[in-house]
Amino acid sequence: MNSELTECFNNVRDSQNSALAHYQIWFTLRGEGKAIDKYLSDMNDYRYVDFFHAANNGNYKLMFIETACLFDSDDRTHNIRSLMTLMTQNGLGNLVDKFDQELKPFSDLVSNIKTIRSKVIAHKEAYVDPGELYRKHGIKPDDIQALLNTTAELLRELETILTNNSSSHSVGPTDRWERATLGLLDALQNERRS
C-alpha cells in the first residue's frame, strides 16, 4: 500500500477516535441513565461545577466538529471520501463497496451533523435559531453513536489490511472514554466522601 493511503488513514483514524471520545465523554456526563443519575451532586460541587459545564459544552461541540471532519467533502482534506479514493487506487475496491454500503444509511445524519456544525457550532450563522435547527434536523445521540461505531469497524478492517493482519488495532468501537469518565467521577466521589 502506498504511503499516501497510510497517511490519510492515520488522519481519518485520529478524527474518528476524537469524535468517538468526545461523544462518549459528553454522553456519559449528560445522557439518560449515565453519570447524572449517580454523580449529580459530585458534579454540582462548587469546586468542580464550572469544569463539568465547560467539559459538557466543549465535548458536545467537538463531537460535531470531528464527526463533520470525517465526512468533509473538501478534496484538500483527509476524510472518508479521500480515503475511499485512495483505497480504490490501491486495489481495495471491495472494501470501498463495503464502506459505501454500510455508511449509506447514515447519509442524512451526516448531512444534518455538517449543517449544525456549520451554522451553529463553527460559525454561529446570523439569523439562525439553534433550537429550530436542532428540531428540524432531529439528531439523536444513539444515531451518532451508531455512525461512529460503524465507521470505526470499517476503519478497523482497513487497518488490518494496512498492517498485514496485525492483531493490534488503533481504531475500533470501544467504550474506553466512557469508562475513563466514570472512573474520574468515581475518584471524585470517593474524594468527596473521605
For the chain, which residues make up each domain, given as ranges?
3-193
C-alpha cell, 88? 480504490
Q: What is the pLDDT along the chain (194 residues), one digit of tens a residue?
A: 589 999 999 999 999 999 999 999 999 999 888 999 999 999 999 999 999 999 999 999 999 999 999 999 888 899 999 999 999 999 999 999 999 999 999 999 999 999 888 888 887 777 777 677 777 777 888 899 999 999 999 999 999 999 887 766 787 778 999 999 999 999 999 998 88
Grid coordinates of 140: 439523536
Q: How far is CA 130 from CA 28, 59, 65, 77, 183, in A?
A: 23, 18, 16, 27, 33
Q: Of all residues in the chain, what percent are helix, strand and coil, respectively (each to 5)? A: 75, 0, 25
